[in-house]
Structure 1
């Protein structure tokens, strides 16, 4: 029997099917993943010997390669790069919010993801952040981006409107509905601007 012209299964196909499963179900199970690909679970291990953890890390790398900048543009200030990094990172993960809780359960180790964090760390270090505070700055940025990515998958009505004129929250909900654009995206831009301004105040004069 002639061999097939191309492999029936590939690492990329596995990772993209895994991301589809996460988007649809909010979880990742290798038996279900294998069924979706029409193969046995054991066949997956020929491509992802580390099992579920390796698949998840591969999904992280898939997203990171598409949305997390790993290079600073010529003449780009630390604030400009960090803003671009956060906006792109948030946009990529906001498209797959169900992946966020799964990816935060294990250590970041994918080379593409680490390359982006390394560039951010270098940019912040050159701006004046010392080793003692740099990781905290990266953590704050990371937490904010991932939290906003989760918010992108929240219900349209996050808070119930009691309809009371005496309620500051109800008035704010109605005012926000009247605004153009996406609430989560607007909130992210406001928070990012505030966060960058706060980080800037930590830098030596």
Structure 2
């Protein structure tokens, strides 16, 4: 039998199906992915020789390519760029919160994603952050954005009513529920403003350096 002139499966199809599986089940299983695509597991590995890690990076690419900034607007200051970077990054991952644990479990290697991180590092360095400060700033931003993306997929009621009369937490939950809009997004916006203010203190030397001790 003649072999098909075009591949029956593409890497793009694999990565899209893998993301759909993660969205639906919260996990990534390559044998099930192969079944979903109607191919054998060995055929799947023919297209993604790096196996699971390569599939995860493919998912990362789907989420970040075209979403995370890879260029800077004219006259855009470091705070404005960093704000835009964080907002776009969160939006990409908040749409697929179940993928976040996969992304944090392995080294970032997707070229487009790395390019966006590289630009962020360059912007921070040009603004006056030292080399180690750049890495700490990128790490803090990364943790905050990914945590907020997970929060976007949290239950509507994150905290149960304590049942205690006069509970401050329960009162705060009820007050927040009365506010219009997305509670998670409002928390992200507040946190990002606070984080940028703190990074500015680090940049200007007003924030003491971390010691690395608890």
Provide the rounded CA distance (Å) in 2 between the counterparts of 1:165 and 1:74.
54
1:67 matches 2:83: no
1:17 matches 2:17: yes
Q: How far apart are residue 132 of structure 1 and its match?
A: 2.0
TM (normalized to structure 2)? Answer: 0.91
Q: How far apart are residue 76 of structure 1 and its match?
A: 0.7
Following superposition of structure 1 onto structure 2, how do residues 1-205 of structure 1 map, counting pairs within 5 Å?
Answer: 6-162=6-162, 164-204=164-204
Listed one character per residue, the Cα deviations across residues 135-167 of structure 1 (whole Å, up to 9, x for unaligned) are 000000000000000001110000012355511
TM (normalized to structure 1)? Answer: 0.95
Structure 2: gaps (5+ residues): 206-214
Moved more, 160-169 or 122-131: 160-169
Provide the rounded CA distance (Å) in 1 between the counterparts of 2:66 and 2:18.
16
Match of 2:209 in 1: none
* Equivalent position SS for 2:35: helix
Q: How far apart are residue 66 of structure 1 and its match?
A: 3.3
Provide the rounded CA distance (Å) in 1 between the counterparts of 2:130 and 2:171.
44
Q: What is the root-mean-square deviation in Å for CA atoms of aligned residues?
A: 1.5
Listed one character per residue, the Cα deviations across residues 28-86 of structure 1 (whole Å, up to 9, x for unaligned) are 11110001001111111121100111100111111110321111111111000000000
Provide the rounded CA distance (Å) in 2 between the counterparts of 1:38 and 1:121.
42
Structure 1: gaps (5+ residues): none
* Equivalent position SS for 2:47: coil
